[in-house]
Amino acid sequence: MKTIHDILKLGDPRLYEVCEPVLKSDLTLVPEWTQQLHEAMEDIRRVYGFGRGIAAPQLGIMKRMFYLNLDRPYIILNPELKVLSEELFELWDDCMSFPNLLVKVKRHQSLTLEYLDENWEKQSWTVEGAVSELIQHEYDHLDGVLCTMRAIDEKSFKWKG
């Protein structure tokens, strides 16, 4: 069972790597990866009280995959961000890889996400606001980008609690 202790922490070099695409031959591994991501996210929720999504590289799975648990679970494979709005908004972002730190960032207000689901079927999802921000955050992990690297300025950091 995966827990908060399995989540890679800020400074781990794997968090800065660009992930490889999920291959169709990897589909047999996707249920196990999904279960591991779900378990780690549930532990973060239990300990820290937050968590709507987690990217595979946060558990050292260096594949272009993330897991969201919103109104239902979403398994996102090989995502592509399309139609990013010009309108941006600022927010204090948090991350499971540094759960006590908040980082002020700018994100696109809306976007369209194209991806493959767990059945290798193409999906398209247009979102805005909080879900748009969440998708951008998780997508960044797949490219080795952390929200600390997107801070608005050097004063855009604060401790939680």
User: In sequence order, which ranges of the chain are alpha helices (DSSP H)?
Assistant: 30-48, 129-142
Q: Is the dihedral of CA 67, 59, 6, 33 positive or negative?
A: positive
**pLDDT at 15 (0 to 100):** 98
What are the tokens at 17? Answer: 């790597």
Beta bridge partners of 102: 158
Show pLDDT as tens, one digit a residue, over the chain (161 residues). 999 999 999 999 999 999 999 999 999 999 999 999 999 999 999 999 999 999 999 999 999 999 999 999 999 999 999 999 999 999 999 999 999 999 999 999 999 999 999 999 999 999 999 999 999 999 999 999 999 999 999 999 999 86
CA dist., res. 68 & res. 51, Å (int): 9
138 is catalytic: yes
Cα separations (Å) of 23 from 41, 44, 64, 120? 24, 29, 10, 10
Question: Residues forming the annotated binding site?
Answer: 95, 137, 141
Tokens 């952390």 found at: 146
3-state secondary structure of 122: strand
Active-site option among 17, 39, 90, 138: 138
In this prediction the pTM is 0.96
The letter for the amino acid at 89 is: F
Q: Which residues are annotated as a binding site for Fe cation?
A: 95, 137, 141
Dihedral angle, C-alpha 90, 95, 100, 106, nearest 10 °: -10
Q: How many angstroms separate the first and last alpha carbons of the chain?
A: 28
The pLDDT, as a whole number, for residue 160 is 87
